[in-house]
């Protein structure tokens, strides 16, 4: 019995340490959105204290007008899990993009609960947007220059060419793509 108690205390301690020290926001809630507990990362991410999060519930931190919210909740209900992007609201009013993983589970009392992990992905979305803009600018330059440019893969096959390269080579783009020209 003592060994079992000791193992239980160790297990609870591991859980507490993971919950309190996790870099991602973790929120335990009921399926209706009532928040039962939130880790320190959830408080930092949202700007609210754990007590404030309990009072607010899901509607206080998830942008309820996000077009994917209803389908996300339906998917979680149907499959037991949702993983995707939604918008969240910080205490300051700032809306931010979040990656959310949320699952249903049954607790030891037989009650349905949810656990959700959230991560602010604003920087990632900004980096993707900047990369797309940079790619569009480079494509515009390559499409309008009279110099021929090509892009080879590691095997020496053409994976992209600009219009000038097609003109200079006498081949169409579709004829060139996949052609092996070496390194």
Q: For residue range 31-56, what is the model confidence (pLDDT) as tens digits?
A: 999 999 999 999 999 999 999 999 99
d(CA 171, CA 75): 49
Does position 59 have pLDDT exceeding 80, yes or no?
Answer: yes
Q: What is the pLDDT of residue 28?
A: 95
pLDDT band at 81 (very low <50, low <70, confident <90, very high): very high
Does position 183 have pLDDT exceeding 80, yes or no?
Answer: no
And the tokens for 14? 């591991």
pLDDT in tens, 135-154: 999 888 888 888 898 888 88
d(CA 43, CA 52): 9
Q: What is the CA radius of gyration of the chain?
A: 25
């Amino acid at each position: 019995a003592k060994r079992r108690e000791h193992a239980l205390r160790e297990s609870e301690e591991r859980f507490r340490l993971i919950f309190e020290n996790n870099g991602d926001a973790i929120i335990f809630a009921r399926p209706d959105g009532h928040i039962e507990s939130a880790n320190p990362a959830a408080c930092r991410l949202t700007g609210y204290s754990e007590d404030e999060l309990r009072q607010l519930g899901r509607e206080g931190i998830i942008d309820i007008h996000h077009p994917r919210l209803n389908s996300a909740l339906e998917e979680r209900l149907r499959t037991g899990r949702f993983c995707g992007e939604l918008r969240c609201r910080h205490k300051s009013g700032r809306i931010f993009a979040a990656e959310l993983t949320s699952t249903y589970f049954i607790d030891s009392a037989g009650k349905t609960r949810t656990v959700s992990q959230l991560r602010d992905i604003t920087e990632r979305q900004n980096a993707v947007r900047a990369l797309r803009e940079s790619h569009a600018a480079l494509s515009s330059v390559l499409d309008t220059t009279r110099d021929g440019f090509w892009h080879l893969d590691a095997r020496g096959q053409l994976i992209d060419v600009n219009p000038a390269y097609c003109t200079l080579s006498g081949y169409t783009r579709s004829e060139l793509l996949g052609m092996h020209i070496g390194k």
